[in-house]
Structure 1
Amino acid sequence: MSEVQWNRLTAAELRALAARDAVVLLPIGATEQHGPHLPTGVDDFLAAEVCRRAAVLAAEHIGVVVTPSVPTGLSEHHMAFGGTLTLSLPTLHALLRDICRSVIRVGFSRILIVNGHGGNMTALNALTTELTAELSTPIAFASYFGAGREVVRDTLETQDGLMHACEGETSMMMAAYPELIRTEHLDEAHGPRITLPAESTEPVYMAVSFDRITESGVAGDARAASPEKGERMLSGCASALADIIVRDPWAK
């Protein structure tokens, strides 16, 4: 199996991939509270894991490489719980611009930002447009759980999509990082159902601190999680993302 992770490749190997017009995946997550049972790095870990799996699948057809993940995003709404790191919007813009510019200077021209945090979605839609104009290179953006929406919906029993520290995220962490689950706190890991802001049908948006939504820090019900569900979602999201890469959205 060919290596797909940028920081495990040499500069010469990366230049060779750029010469093949390889696709670059740039995973971005968040570092924020995930209830009593999950570590703060969930969104970062899962975005990077799905990207790695997708790259391995897509590499059978095209050149592809995965940059080191961006572990911090827009998490102001979780700050009240503690344990959370957040960026301002201008900082996130500048960080992504500089990473993408570096990737382009190596010789790559196809970049897909892959998101693993609901709180990043609206901003990344706008920033993708800004980065494309600033860098004169078509930057693409997808959330892994959006690419794999069907398998996520069909796998989960208590909800239709990912929420927060929920059945879905907990299941995927059980599959990929079981040693990081605080199983003794699973019984406490439940809260109200929510809709991601980017998918809301409400006519008015207002910023709401997450502690006003859920006392536990969990939205959804992690008690229904299992590693089998997690593996199915990770594999399905990676397959859907690989399909997107191979279909080449940059050619449109």
Structure 2
Amino acid sequence: MIYETFGRLETEWAGKTYSEITTIGESDGSIVIVPIGSIEQHGDHLPVSTDTILVDAAAHAGAATVADEVPVVVTPPVWSGLSAHHLPFGGTLSLEFQTMLDTLENVGRTALENHFDAILLLNGHGGNMALLNTAVNTIGAEHTDIEVLSLTYFHLIAEMIEEVRDSEPGGIMHGGELETSLMLHLRPDLVDEERMTSVYAERTYELLLEDLNGSGPLGRYSTFADHTDTGVMGDPTLASAEKGATLYEGVRDEMRKLLGDVHEAIRTPE
């Protein structure tokens, strides 16, 4: 996804030969990262590939910072996720829960046949989070000698988001200040700034999730069409490339720390 901008990447699974991949996998403390996104509407100003572009960038940004010390490789992104709640707007491609779980299990299982010591399922779409918890358990149960992990990238910078944002609560739920800022930094060619609209959705219950970086404990089924006429939930009008650069650097730095910690935890003791 991001290869159009950055060219061939050192950590790119898809650009390596099979022997290069197996050599990385057989190295002590090796890690394979599987970015997982979605293809779904993000309002009129962002492309449907937003989640996939951003999680792919997060994976490669982190991996590139440790590639000299940590044997790590990033697979091509799993580009479709659980996005049925976006279907009313069109442009969305979605998987059923079991189909996506089977897909991640098969991708994970075959990736680990290359002898990696750890696998990180890196998520970029809020609707995938519950399924990733299941996938970690099912993959982990089959590979008890492997470190099996999952993470949603924007949770890494929850505190930074609060420092950087200008929007009110509810301003970064979907296609809002956060995602639009990151896209303005990474792929400004795909952002239509003239079509940005701000939508602060009314909350039915106080315990519902309010922003992407939040942790509202109450779950409730609804489609995005129940909350917004444009597909946006948030305030992209407050986004900027400068904020996006800051947030991207934050993701990169937190990924660097995590991958370093994982590598040290799984290395064979000297």
Give yes or no for TM over 0.5. yes
Match of 2:3 in 1: none
Match of 1:110 in 2: 118
Alpha carbons of structure 1 residues 249 and 130: separation in structure 2 relative to 1, 3 Å: farther
Deviation of the 1:27 alpha carbon: 0.4
Deviation of the 1:7 alpha carbon: 0.6
Match of 1:158 in 2: 167
2:160 and 2:60 map into 1 onto residues whose CA distance is 18
Deviation of the 1:189 alpha carbon: 4.2
Is 2:152 the counterpart of 1:143?
yes
1:151 and 1:34 map into 2 onto residues whose CA distance is 23
Deviation of the 1:198 alpha carbon: 8.2
Deviation of the 1:89 alpha carbon: 0.9
Q: C-alpha deviations, 1:190-218, integer Å up to 9, x for none?
A: 3327345982233xx33101110111211
Deviation of the 1:43 alpha carbon: 0.3
What is the one-letter code of the residue matched to 1:4?
T
Match of 1:179 in 2: 189
Is 2:58 the counterpart of 1:50?
yes
Greater helix fraction, Structure 1 or Structure 2: 1
2:230 and 2:135 map into 1 onto residues whose CA distance is 32
Match of 1:6 in 2: 13
Alpha carbons of structure 1 residues 195 and 231: separation in structure 2 relative to 1, 3 Å: closer
Number of aligned residue pairs: 249
Match of 1:59 in 2: 67
Match of 1:201 in 2: 217
Question: Which range moves more in the overlay, 38-47 or 103-112?
Answer: 103-112
Task: Tell me the TM-score normalized by structure 1.
Answer: 0.92
Match of 1:125 in 2: 133
1:163 and 1:250 map into 2 onto residues whose CA distance is 35
Deviation of the 1:116 alpha carbon: 0.4
Alpha carbons of structure 1 residues 159 and 95: separation in structure 2 relative to 1, 3 Å: farther
2:101 and 2:89 map into 1 onto residues whose CA distance is 25
Question: Which range moves more in the overlay, 214-223 or 121-130?
Answer: 121-130
What is the one-letter code of the residue matched to 2:215?
E
1:73 and 1:130 map into 2 onto residues whose CA distance is 18
Alpha carbons of structure 1 residues 105 and 159: separation in structure 2 relative to 1, 3 Å: farther
Displaced runs of 4 or more, over 6 A = none
Does the 8 Å contact 1:36/1:189 carry over to 2? no
Task: Tell me the TM-score normalized by structure 2.
Answer: 0.86
Q: Aligned-residue CA RMSD in angstroms?
A: 2.2
Match of 1:237 in 2: 251
What is the one-letter code of the residue matched to 1:191?
Y
Is 2:229 the counterpart of 1:247?
no
2:76 and 2:201 map into 1 onto residues whose CA distance is 33
1:221 and 1:183 map into 2 onto residues whose CA distance is 12
